Amino acid sequence: MGKFADQSQVGEWLREQSEESVVALRKLLREFAQWVWREAEPGRLLHAGQREVFFDDTQLEVNGKRFEGAAINYNGDLALSWQTLWVGPLLCDSHLGRPGDVSDQLLPMLERNRRLWRGQAAHFYADSVQ
């Protein structure tokens, strides 16, 4: 890869997203994860014979004049909350928003993505859940 997008280009792209494009991106992530799980050797993706499902809330500290949704987080920093759901090594869902309840997207993410582990032995991990 000769060049990656810089922070300004990424910011411009993010600001252009609509609710519909975010839903489409989530769908694409799920479809890709389903394809990988279908095509890969199970032993390469399983841990102790189980799918690992991991939820996390990462606080992204920001500075500057304009960060829509940024707020003072539990640590006293101006931040955005990035909640993610991973199935094995694959990012399957995420939500970027205002810090607050560090697990407010957990149930919606589990509901949207449960077919990725339905009928499979799975181990669930969560960080920052209240």
Q: Per DSSP, which regions of 20-77 are E strands?
A: 51-61, 71-72
3-class SS of residue 120: coil
3-class SS of residue 41: coil
pLDDT of residue 130: 53
Highest-scoring range by mean pLDDT, 7-11, 30-34, 59-63: 30-34
> In this structure, what token pair is assigned to residue 117?
């582990």
Cβ contact 116:89 at 8 Å:
no
- The least confident of 43-52, 73-82, 85-94, 102-111 is 73-82
> In this structure, what token pair is assigned to residue 118?
């339905």
Per-chain mean pLDDT for the chain = 87
Decide the pairing of beta strands 78-87 and 71-72. Answer: antiparallel
pTM for this model (two decimals): 0.80
Rounded CA separation 40/42 (Å): 6
Cβ contact 81:59 at 8 Å:
yes
- Mean per-residue pLDDT, 56-85: 82
